[in-house]
Structure 1
Amino acid sequence: MPSNKILEQKKQVVADLTEKVKAAQSIVLADYRGLTVEQDTALRNALRAAGVEYKVVKNTLTSLAMKESGLEALDPFLNGPTAMALSSTDAVAPAKVLSDFSKKFEKLELKVGVVEGKVIDINGIKALADLPSREVLIAKVLGGFNAPISGFVNVLNGNMRGLVVALNAIAEQKANA
């Protein structure tokens, strides 16, 4: 039977994890079994650079946190070594980094993901990873807004050019006459 001190520590871990899971825009669970220390370090560095938190927590504690967060559907995937990548700022980053690393290192297996409270399978994770970054999407939207405006400016400039050419022709005719 664990001591009260250990029980309190475990309750604190579950409470902290529950808060992070509720605040996360996306979560990806992966099996990291077979990765070398160098590969795991490279993965952790890439996740950290992308602003993604990477945790390995006991499956029983993770299961309790998921139940408290309303994500009981993840329970069947919490077997064997399970790592969790979560981000509260970018929904695409965990899927993108883990998907890239799973292509490089075949030992890293994606299990399941959660995007804004909805559970997605491996194909959903890969589709999410293939999305362009937030900055690219914003640039495309702004470019779409800009196109009609620049077209309108070109039309106005065309009318102005025509008027200037006509006035210039009239001025030349009067100067010649």
Structure 2
Amino acid sequence: MGRTLANKQDIVTELKGLVDEAQMAFVVDYQGLTVAEITDLRNRLEASNSVCKVTKNTLMRRAIADADEWQPLTELLKGTNAFVLVKDDPGSAIKAYQAFQKDTKKTELRGGLLEGRLLSSDELKAIGDLPSKEVLIAQIAGAINGVATKLAVGIKEVPNSLARGIKAVSEQTDA
């Protein structure tokens, strides 16, 4: 019994550490998944710097007990849950989950938590539909580059226009 209690305490400590590093979490009903499928989901999420933990709801409840901003998550702690803890890019983590779900058709997105606010599965899907951070950066860089190009062309045109104006004035003076 003492070993089991120590094991549970280790799991809670690990979960606390993961929760402390996460900016978002979402909860997935994983019932019916094989070990290989859960491993596949974990591998897909790893690319987005996210961790998928399958653990008992009571252990997750203990892990978030001292963190007020995580308390709304307790509403989702029913049934068989896998917890996806997202460190950096929520959009890419949700996209990775959606691709997995499309391939397996065995899981259900229950909801999630972002900055202390409970999110429905529809709200999570909307986050997944947003462009990735890399795409947004590329779009912003493209827009800035376009403005800079137009500005450079405009600045280059000023001396040319001035030279044409001076030439026209000198031609009128000569005539």
Q: Which runs of 5+ in 1 are unaligned?
A: none
Equivalent pair of 2:26/2:113 in contact (CA under 8 Å):
yes
| Aligned residue in 2 for 1:89 | 88
**Alignment RMSD:** 2.5
Local SS of the residue matching 1:35: coil
Equivalent pair of 2:48/2:88 in contact (CA under 8 Å):
no
Local SS of the residue matching 2:109: strand
1:18 equivalent among 16, 33, 36: 16
State percent identity of aligned pairs.
33
| Aligned residue in 1 for 2:109 | 110
| Aligned residue in 2 for 1:52 | 50
Q: Distance in 2 between matches of 1:42 and 1:91?
A: 19
| Aligned residue in 2 for 1:123 | 122
| Aligned residue in 2 for 1:7 | 5
Equivalent pair of 1:31/1:81 in contact (CA under 8 Å):
yes
Q: Distance in 2 between matches of 1:168 and 1:35?
A: 80
Residues 1:41 and 2:34 are matched in the alignment: no
TM-score calculated relative to the size of structure 1: 0.81
Local SS of the residue matching 2:90: coil
Cα distance change, pair 37–14 in 1 and its aligned pair in 2 (3 A): closer
Deviation at 1:40, TM superposition (A): 2.9
Q: Distance in 2 between matches of 1:61 and 1:122?
A: 23
Cα distance change, pair 20–40 in 1 and its aligned pair in 2 (3 A): closer
Q: Distance in 1 between matches of 2:90 and 2:47?
A: 15
TM-score calculated relative to the size of structure 2: 0.82
| Aligned residue in 1 for 2:66 | 68
Count of residues in correspondence between the two structures: 170
| Aligned residue in 2 for 1:149 | 148
Q: Distance in 1 between matches of 2:115 and 2:135?
A: 21
Q: Which runs of 5+ in 2 are unaligned?
A: none
Equivalent pair of 1:26/1:91 in contact (CA under 8 Å):
yes
Equivalent pair of 1:18/1:65 in contact (CA under 8 Å):
yes
Letter in 2 for 1:134: K
Q: Distance in 1 between matches of 2:65 and 2:121?
A: 21
